């Protein structure tokens, strides 16, 4: 019974995540959903800014603190180890749901692209970003990343084994294609409002900090990651080679 309950819990957490992911596409792109990022402003500028920053901070803290190995070791004294990733996925989704619910639009337009071809290109880049995020998770094992593999293995009575280190597809070009996808998703828009700009700037800053924390943990747990880090650029394909050529040119 316990194994079945943990499996059902993991499946429920995953379904909450996937529904939240789909809503996030509509929220950021102002598409389909009842309340989007640039819905009608209903608060004063100061209140809206304070609430939005608080919501983004809550998500960033939850997402980063719970991902650290020390927190995981403490957390798994309270919950089954096989349910740890599912719980992380659930709480991350709930933090986003609260953000969607309580988000306060600020208004104002930073840029508005009117050329139809350029608008289509920006919407295509937006779609590419979300697709890259999803594809990147499947390349490194989507179901392990969101906890389903862990709860399934415990249901079958099998021990969890790490998937090991691999660099499929875009992971050979950049170390973090998933984060590259987020950048496209957050910045590619034909109409950049002040609200959207705040969201994009704050999430970009968070991602750059999160990469440092994540890579520090990876260096501690995966010996081969150090060489991978030296060989492959963080976010921009070819950046490492260009940097080396520049150094060689400066020191012939």
pLDDT in tens, 41-90: 888 889 999 999 999 999 999 988 888 888 888 888 989 999 999 999 99
pLDDT at 251: 44
pLDDT at 240: 60
Alpha-carbon gap, residue 157 to 129, rounded angstroms = 38
Bridge partner residues of 191 (DSSP)? 112
Spatial contact of 122 and 192, defined as CB atoms under 8 Å apart: no
Per residue in 116-172, pLDDT tens?
999 999 999 999 999 999 999 999 999 999 999 999 999 999 998 888 888 999 999
Residue 238 DSSP SS3: coil
Sequence ranges of the domains in the chain: 2-250
Per residue in 177-202, pLDDT tens?
999 999 999 999 999 999 999 999 99
The burial of 88, by beta-carbon neighbours within 10 Å (0-12 exposed, 13-18 middle, 19 or more buried), is given as buried
Spatial contact of 120 and 72, defined as CB atoms under 8 Å apart: no
């Amino acid at each position: 019974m316990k194994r079945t309950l943990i499996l059902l819990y993991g499946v429920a957490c995953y379904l909450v995540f996937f529904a939240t992911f789909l809503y996030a596409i509509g929220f950021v792109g102002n598409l389909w959903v009842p309340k989007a990022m640039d819905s009608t402003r209903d608060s004063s500028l100061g209140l809206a800014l304070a609430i939005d920053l608080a919501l983004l901070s809550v998500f960033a803290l939850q997402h980063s603190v719970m991902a650290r190995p020390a927190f995981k070791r403490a957390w798994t004294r309270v919950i089954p180890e096989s349910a740890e990733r599912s719980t992380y996925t659930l709480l991350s989704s709930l933090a986003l749901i609260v953000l969607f619910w309580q988000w306060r639009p600020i208004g104002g337009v930073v840029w508005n692209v009117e050329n139809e071809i350029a608008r289509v290109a920006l919407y295509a880049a937006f779609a590419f970003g979300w697709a890259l995020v999803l594809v990147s998770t499947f390349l490194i094992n989507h179901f392990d990343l969101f906890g389903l593999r862990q709860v399934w293995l415990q249901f079958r009575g099998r021990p969890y084994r790490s998937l090991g280190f691999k660099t499929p597809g875009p992971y050979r070009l950049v170390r973090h294609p998933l984060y590259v996808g987020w950048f496209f998703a957050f910045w590619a828009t034909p109409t950049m409002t002040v609200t959207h700009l705040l969201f994009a700037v704050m999430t970009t800053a968070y991602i750059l900090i999160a990469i440092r924390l994540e890579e520090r943990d990876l260096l501690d747990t995966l010996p081969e990651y150090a060489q991978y880090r030296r060989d492959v650029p963080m976010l921009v394909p070819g950046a490492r080679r260009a940097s080396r050529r520049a150094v060689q040119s400066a020191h012939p």
